[in-house]
Structure 1
Amino acid sequence: MEKKHKGISKIGLVAAVVSSSIGSGVFGITSDLAAGSAPAPAMIAWVIVGIGILALVLSLNNLGAKHPEMNAGIFGYAEKDFGKLGGFISGWGYWMSSWLGNVAFATMFMSAVGEFFPLFKGGQNVPSILLASLFIWGLTFLVSGGLENASIVNVLVMLCKLVPLVFFLIMAILSFKLGIFTSDFWGNVAENLQNNGTAASVGEQIKSCLMVMMWVFVGIEGASVLASRAEKRSDAQKASIIGLTILLFIYILASLLPFGVLSQEELANIKQPAMANILKHIVGDWGAAFINIGLIISVIGAWLSWTMLPAETTMLMARDKLLPKFFGKTNEKNSPTNSLIATATLTNLFLLTFLVTDYAYKLAYSLCTASILICYLFVAIYQIKYSFKQKEPLQLGIGIVATLFQIVGITLAGFNYVLLCSIAYIPGLFFFLKACHANNRNISTLEKAAMILITLSAILAIVMLYLGMITL
């Protein structure tokens, strides 16, 4: 029988999945979809994304069950398959994507607060940055008191953020009109909106939906990352499936039901956050205020989850000798103190650049937009390799689907973003080399070649950025 110990509960792990995935994206997803697609292509896109994300979750669950000894987060599979450097590339990319996402959460949070308090309007002035900084360090302090305690708070935040979302779904169902939903079912309006009157095929409309849909699932790996802190490791696998089910239910209904409330053209041009203004159309001004409060709670919940996940990742990387021991230091509550402080400091520094320009943020965020998909790709590839060795055709098929899905995502993100990602790895390679030196580990010829290739890619990306060949 699996031994139970003090740690994060199953519902805490579900909250890690739901809270880290539901940020601000769901509040504007309908407008983003309507700008390039009619209801029918969007529904087809949901089937594709649902299958792809399910394949990724099943891959994580399968590998977690087959490798209960692995406590290295999702980067552990990259290390298992591609060695220490592969593990570093996956882990560092995941960490960069995570804390830079917190910069976005801080900006969105202050913009939402600005709807109620004009002092913070826009989210990029001095009062906004000061308040956001207080939240950054407040959440850091909360997590430093123990990830288990922080997960309890995360459960409460998850429940609070679900209330306005469920209310919106109920009102959208009550206001839904089939005639409006089917009036432009396959996309005549989409043709005009997206292509200035030229025909947009069903395939093009589906393609326009995929990236919007894929990004709202970033964080689906939350339970897997925290598996080593679970009361029972098997809870992480169950929590991932429960979390995915909740997310699919909310995302699909929240994105499609409004097509039966307003026309596609109205949805495409509605002011963001779209959900607030759709509810305003249904029930009046108080509906928009209610959703904006929900947006604030939702962002705080995602922000808390993404304070936990990147710090846990760098701590695990240090323990696995992919980063210097500094990142692995924990306090008496077993929280990764140095990793938390480093993550909070970098997030705060990028916020301060808003006082001068928002270009630094756009550059840094663009560097890592594709990183998370690369991390997922490593997991899917290892699922294929492991399942092939074990002669498990079903798991092999799941791995193939997950791999193809991530390749599609990386392709849609654009090669420029993948190239820009290499810049973010340059400072990381310095820490990786320090860790290798501290542990008397020799760098293989293949690893040296890979690091040279990453460095050359970074130089090329910087030159192309300077020449205007890459734009953000």
Structure 2
Amino acid sequence: MAERTSTGTKVGVGTLTAMVVGSMVGAGVFSLPSRFAQETGVAGALIAWAVAGAGMLTLALVFQRLAVRKPDLDAGVFAYAKAGFGEYTGFFSAAGYWASTCVGNVTYWVLIMSTLGAWIPALGEGDTVLAVAISSVGLWLFFLLVRRGISEATAINRVVTVAKLVPILVFVLLALLVFDPAAFASNWAGESYGSLFDQVRATMLVTVFVFLGVEGASVYSRHARRREDVGRATILGFTSVLAVFASVTMVSYGVLPAEEIAALRQPSMAGVLRAAVGDWGTVFVSIGLIVSVLGAYLAWTLMAAEVLFVAAKDRDMPRFLSRASSRDVPVNALVLTTALSQVVLVVTLFSSDAFDFALDLTAAMSLIPFLLAAAYALKLRATRETYDDARPGTLRRDLVVAVLATAYTAFLVFAAGLDLLLLSLVFYAPATLLFAMTRREQGRGVFSPAELVLFVVVAAGAVLGIVGLATGWITL
């Protein structure tokens, strides 16, 4: 699928779609049965997937439209925030998106160790010292793999994307064979979870996490053969993965009572399949999980380094992050990406639930970049920039998409809750040092007056977050 040009490695719609699917299908799908059963019954799950599917579809359409209307903006998530709302806001979007991918990478290693922990008790649920030590070795081995070159890494990702889908689809088919309508009906209402609104709200961060990667083709757009392929890959990848995720969740309710699903250790998909077909189901899902997670880890590592690299090339990150090897690999960005994942991996030793902590923090940190991208699409439509020759139907359609995407991502910020927002600010405030380095390299003042106000707000939130951690009203 890849070809060499004078500008480097270029990839087509197939490879870009594989990047989207490979990014989304990872640790999250294997945790869906338990995570949903802890929060809601069948009715709430159906509504949650409808809301998440519609909301993320509008966000996918936003990335599709922005890729065509703003073809000069590479690494879309960060670039759109900068173009729409200024350099410091763009920096926050780039830093937050990059950090969310690094934290997300940690969930992969935690889940692999938790999976192996079913047979090796010393690994626990991925949160023991031995588990963190082995995961650390894995982090740096993958660093060496990606450093070999972008074309080699994307070729591996295409193969792994196909391989990872097989066990998930087999899980759905086997669960359907033993599907019990009576169990499904008894799991329908979920009265013990509270109001239906609370149930749906509680699942929103889970759906955000599993849909992270829908922007994968946009992030990787500088390598696209044609800009139109970015939008096509985004929609193809999203619709395929939505069908898989919703199916995994719903068939599980027909195998076990919700309270038993909720109590399963992660990966909960293995526990559901064990109840359906016996012990071999656990082994089957566990092998599929390891293949899937390692493939997603590769895709996310590529995307994280790409964001830092392109931001540095656009002079929005320090110069040292813009250096690439002869194989087109942003080595310094890759080192920093792996180092942050290593730090978060160590932090999981101090959390009460390493997997849930990393999953929720990943989702929360991605929300601001997504919200800013949607708001930029709304701003373009409101100002009619790039819409001079647009037909009335296009104007109405793009307005509806932008409004819905902005409203949906704003709702997600609300659903995440204050504690996760403050934890995100604990990262954003010190990350501003990179912004200060960039401005100093350019001989400019660190902040404009408006940027200084924003920094003070972020710093105050970070201090509040640290106080919350110290006093115990915010927990890891």
TM-score w.r.t. length of structure 2 = 0.90
Letter in 2 for 1:62: R
1:44-443 alignment runs, 5 A limit? 44-118=47-121, 120-185=123-188, 187=189, 190-192=190-192, 194=193, 200-352=194-346, 357-358=350-351, 369-390=363-384, 392-442=395-445, 443=447
Contact 1:107 1:124 in 2 (8 A): yes
C-alpha spacing 1:363/1:269, structure 2 compared with 1 (3 Å): closer
Distance 2:352 2:32 in 1: 25
Amino acid at match of 2:280: W
Rounded to whole Å, the distance in 2 between the matches of 1:202 and 1:93 is 31
Per the alignment, residue 392 of structure 2 pairs with: none
Residues 209 and 359, structure 2, Cα contact 8 Å, conserved in 1: no
1:383-427 Cα shifts (integer Å, max 9, x gaps):
111012226221111111111111111111102221222221223
Question: Any idea what the Cα deviations from partners look like across 1:346-402, whole Å, max 9, x if unmatched?
Answer: 3234445667x4589898987665220111000110111101222622111111111
Displacement of 1:49: 0.9
Instruction: Work out the CA distance in 1 between the residues paired with 2:352 and 2:284.
Output: 32
**Contact 2:75 2:218 (8 Å CA) reproduced:** no
Q: Given the alignment, which residue of 462, 468, 472 partners 1:464?
A: 468
Q: 1:264 to 1:352 in 2, by over 3 A?
A: closer
Farther-moved stretch of structure 1 (39-48 vs 343-352): 343-352
| C-alpha spacing 1:84/1:354, structure 2 compared with 1 (3 Å) | closer
Q: 1:127 to 1:205 in 2, by over 3 A?
A: closer
1:240-263 per-position Cα deviation (integer Å, ceiling 9, x unaligned): 111111111111110001222223
RMSD: 2.4
Unaligned regions of 5+ residues in structure 1, if any?
195-199
Which amino acid in structure 2 is aligned with residue 229 of structure 1? H
**Contact 1:368 / 1:417 at 8 angstroms: preserved in 2?**
no
1:330 and 1:270 mapped to 2: Cα distance? 44
What per-residue deviation string (whole Å, max 9, x for no partner) do you get for residues 266-286 of structure 1? 333334322111111221111
Which 4+ stretches in 1 moved above 6 angstroms? 359-367
Equivalence for 1:21: 24
Distance 1:431 1:359, change over 3 A: farther
Is residue 161–residue 297 contact of structure 1 (8 Å, CA) maintained in 2?
A: yes
Q: Take 1:471 and 1:352, find their aligned partners in 2: how far apart are those partners?
A: 16
Aligned to 1:455: 459
How far apart are the structure 1 equivalents of 2:33 and 2:185?
A: 16
In the alignment, the residues of structure 1 paired with residue 173 and residue 97 of structure 2 have an alpha-carbon distance, to the nearest angstrom, of 36
What is the alpha-carbon distance in structure 1 between the residues aligned to residue 179 and residue 114 of structure 2? 30
Q: How far apart are the structure 2 equivalents of 1:372 and 1:458? A: 17
Question: 3-state DSSP class of the match of 1:370?
Answer: helix
* Contact 2:103–2:361 (8 Å) recurs in 1: no
Find the partner of 2:40 among 32, 37, 42: 37
Q: How many residues matched?
A: 460
Q: Secondary structure at the match of 2:158?
A: helix
- The CA deviation string for residues 221-252 of structure 1, in whole angstroms up to 9 with x for no partner, is 11110011122222221111111111111111
Tell me the CA shift for residue 184 of structure 1: 4.4
Q: In structure 2, what residue type is equivalent to 1:452?
A: V
Deviations, residues 428-457 of structure 1 (Å, cap 9, x unaligned) = 211111111211334321112212222222
Given that 1:55 and 1:399 are in contact with CA atoms closer than 8 Å, whether structure 2 keeps it comes out as: yes
Q: Structure 2: 5+ residue runs without aligned partners?
A: 388-394
Q: Which amino acid aligns with 2:299?
A: S
Change (3 A) 1:393 1:171: same
Identity among equivalent positions (%) equals: 34
Does 370-379 or 127-136 show the bigger shift?
Answer: 127-136
* Alignment partners' CA distance in 2, 1:261 and 1:457: 44
Query: Following the alignment from structure 2 to structure 1, what is the Cα–Cα distance between the partners of residues 454 and 166?
Result: 48
Q: Provide the rounded CA distance (Å) in 2 between the counterparts of 1:374 and 1:242.
A: 24
